[in-house]
């Protein structure tokens, strides 16, 4: 399966694309920073994942409409953090809508695995939903596993590397400052989890 992911958020789109490609077993996920770029590409993708975060460029709703015209048989997923945006994405031509509310990579990966007819991996949100027992005496379903400390560390380091690549250019200082704050929160979360994993279990750092 060949996927095009169109998002105006760098470096987030690169991290999401790599994570989704991993969940798909290595299927390629190509990234585009705006709708205009994907429209002048070969458009030979089975799936288009279109976000709605392009500032002054063509927005995701109009982008879905144009992609549907150019690739009528493609599977198009609209993505937004704004509730009820499916009311705009679906009429524009999107097959599915994903509201960003949890583990973005896992949810998007499971959605594409379902489209491809492949079973999701154990402990993913989709697999948990399909295997939940319905008997009144059945045990409660197991929640999706949280990423391991090592996985979270690698994910954070990868985002930090992409941020450094971005900073080496000539980014908008305000935008760069926003990414740095987000990265600081992620790093602090990894550090806290590390100390919580120690024997005292209280998350306290040694003095």
* Annotated domain spans of the chain: 3-130, 149-196
Question: Comparing 163 with 44, which gets the higher pLDDT?
Answer: 44
- For residue 57, what pLDDT is reported? 87
- For residue 178, what pLDDT is reported? 64
Residue 167 has pLDDT above 90, yes or no: no
Q: Using 50, 70 and 90 to split pLDDT, how confident is the model at 144? A: very low
H helices of the chain, where?
12-23, 35-39, 60-70, 86-92, 104-116, 125-130, 149-167, 173-196
- CATH code of the region 3-130: 3.40.50.2300
Instruction: Report residue 10 as tokens.
Output: 């760098």
């Amino acid at each position: 399966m060949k996927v095009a992911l169109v998002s105006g958020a760098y470096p987030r789109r690169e991290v999401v694309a790599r994570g989704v490609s991993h969940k798909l077993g290595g299927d390629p996920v190509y990234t585009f920073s705006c709708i205009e770029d994907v429209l002048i590409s070969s458009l030979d993708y089975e799936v288009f994942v279109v976000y709605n975060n392009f500032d002054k460029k063509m927005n995701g709703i109009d982008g879905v409409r144009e992609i549907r015209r150019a690739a009528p048989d493609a599977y198009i997923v609209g993505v937004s953090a704004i509730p009820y945006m499916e009311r705009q994405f679906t009429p524009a031509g999107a097959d599915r809508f994903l509201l960003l509310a949890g583990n973005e990579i896992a949810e998007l990966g499971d959605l594409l695995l379902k489209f491809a007819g492949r079973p999701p991996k154990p402990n993913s949100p989709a697999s948990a939903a399909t295997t939940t027992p319905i008997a009144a005496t059945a045990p409660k379903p197991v929640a999706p596993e949280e990423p391991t400390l090592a996985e979270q560390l690698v994910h954070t380091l990868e985002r930090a590397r992409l941020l450094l690549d971005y900073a080496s250019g000539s980014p908008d200082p305000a935008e760069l400052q926003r990414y740095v704050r987000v990265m600081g929160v992620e790093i602090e979360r990894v550090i806290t989890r590390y100390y919580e994993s120690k024997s005292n279990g209280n998350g306290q750092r040694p003095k």
